[in-house]
Chain A
Amino acid sequence: MRCFRRHWSYSAINQYLRCPLQYYFERVLRLPKPTVGSGLVLGGAVHEALAYYHNKLRKGHVANIQKVERVFAQAWISREADQQIQYKRGDTRVSQLAVGIGLLETYLQQPPPKNILHVEQELIVPLVNSQGEFLETPLVAVLDLITSSDDGIKVHELKTSARSYGQFDVDTSLQASCYAHASRSQFEVPVEVEFAVLVKTKTPKLQRISTVRFQEDSPRLGDLVENIERAVQLEIYYPIESPLNCSGCPFREPCREWAPHRISSAHQQLELNGAP
């Protein structure tokens, strides 16, 4: 995250909700992560390549697929140099690079987005609770792509996923709530959030699925974050153990050694580190 000030982001909020102890290890103690899952690397590299593509379009230029693929490969190599990539069984570096190329080709085969306003736009906005009070810590959102529509703007969120999304997934998506709140607060126009899901099936496909949030939804988000903030201040951290959370978690060892009484002293680092 590029914002220098203490802030909330969708990933921080979501991480606390998913496993408060993982949040603690990553954002309070800032423990190093020895490995990174290949899914994360793939998602990040695809994002970077598509940001290049969208930026070209925004400037009225044409981006050829070879160049986009090169950006993807460079992004992969740079991530590879930073951290050890952990592949799931059956996956290899070559197979994952091929998946990435396939996803990019699928995306570029579709008609390019029109009326591009911003690419990878960072917004920093206040959160408001249901009492109408501003929270001290703002929300930062980095939006992949913003286009103008007839009656407002459309925020496009790019995803790489093993499965297609359902309407319920996007209608209840915390990420959509965060992004809709951020863009409505900043631009003061109606906002539609579209998930462009690149599905990693044998033959990759692109699924576009939209959702909307209204003004009335923002205080609910504010209340949620306010409560998480309170929990963090009270040093409430505990593990939520599930196959989904624990397999691939980089903090399995400290999690095993976790003892709540040790948190108090370490928690003093919270302010120093600027978490969340």
Chain B
Amino acid sequence: MLKVNVGLSRKLTHNYNSHGFSINLEGEICTDRNDAEAVVDRIQELYDLSEEALQRQIERYESDSAIASRDEPPATPTMPPAKQDSSPTPKATSGNGAPHNRIAGGEPATNKQIQFLLTLAKRMKLTKPKLEKRIEQILGQSIDVYDLTKRDAGIVLDSLTDKQEAKPNGR
């Protein structure tokens, strides 16, 4: 049995930076060693495999870079969400413009405040969308919980706490 080591490396150079990729494959050749053509074919296969793997690795890097770029800021502002009564529609978030105007009227609630609000809502078995419905009832307008101002968060918190405190006494 013949043992074969196949090694390939590639260096990409750009702007005085070089990026190296290399691969080493070890394989066995089970064919008759007197059959030179079969041996050469097998070696060729290993080279092709190495080449393919190396190329994939380089391309994968490029592809991963593209994936990582996904959350970078878009060049243009996005459109507001579709207005379809029967379809799930999120509250306008900061990406859609409106809440910016709203928050411009006050300092945004902190993450800590919202975390507290969500925890309180959870005790009342309110999910985020249900909490937002409750917020709409309290403030008189549809708003994402993360677009609340500090003042609004305080009002909502007071209202929820009042309701929660009222419950045991409300017999």
| Residues in A lying within 8 Å of B, measured CB to CB | 1-6, 9-12, 14-15, 18, 35, 37, 39-40, 42-44, 47-48, 51, 55, 58, 75, 78-79, 86-89, 116-126, 132-138, 140, 142, 148, 153, 159-163, 175, 185-189, 243-244, 246-248, 252
Contact = CB atoms under 8 A, between A and B. Distances in A.
Nearest to A144: B70
B11 to A, nearest CB: 9
B59 A138 contact: no
B57 interface: yes
A2 B99 CA distance: 12
Contacts of A40: 65-66, 68-69, 72
B146 A117 contact: no
B94 to A, nearest CB: 5
Interface of B: 12-15, 17, 19-21, 56-79, 81-82, 84, 87-90, 93-96, 100, 103, 108, 111-112, 114-115, 118-119, 122, 127-129, 144, 146
A138 to B, nearest CB: 6
A161 B68 CA distance: 12
A43 B69 contact: yes
B103 to A, nearest CB: 8
B75 A186 contact: no
A11 B66 CA distance: 11
A189 B128 contact: no
Given A117-B87, A186-B129, A247-B20, A135 B115 contact: yes
Contacts of B69: 11, 40, 43-44
Nearest to A121: B81
Contact of B62 (A9, A39, A186): A39
Nearest to A243: B21
Nearest to A252: B17
A75 B68 contact: no
Contacts of B66: 39-40, 42-43, 159-161
Nearest to A39: B62
Contacts of B63: 39, 159-163
A3 B75 contact: no
B89 A15 contact: no
Contacts of B119: 133-134
Most B CB contacts (10 A, CB to CB) among A39, A140, A252 go to A39
A257 B115 CA distance: 39
A120 to B, nearest CB: 4
Complex A-B, nearest 4 residue pairs according to Cβ-Cβ distance, in ascending order:
A247-B19, A162-B59, A122-B95, A187-B88
B78 A120 contact: yes
Contact of A14 (B14, B68, B118, B122): B68
Contacts of B122: 132, 134
Nearest to A142: B71
B71 A9 contact: yes
Most A CB contacts (10 A, CB to CB) among B15, B79, B96 go to B79
B19 A121 contact: no
B18 to A, nearest CB: 9
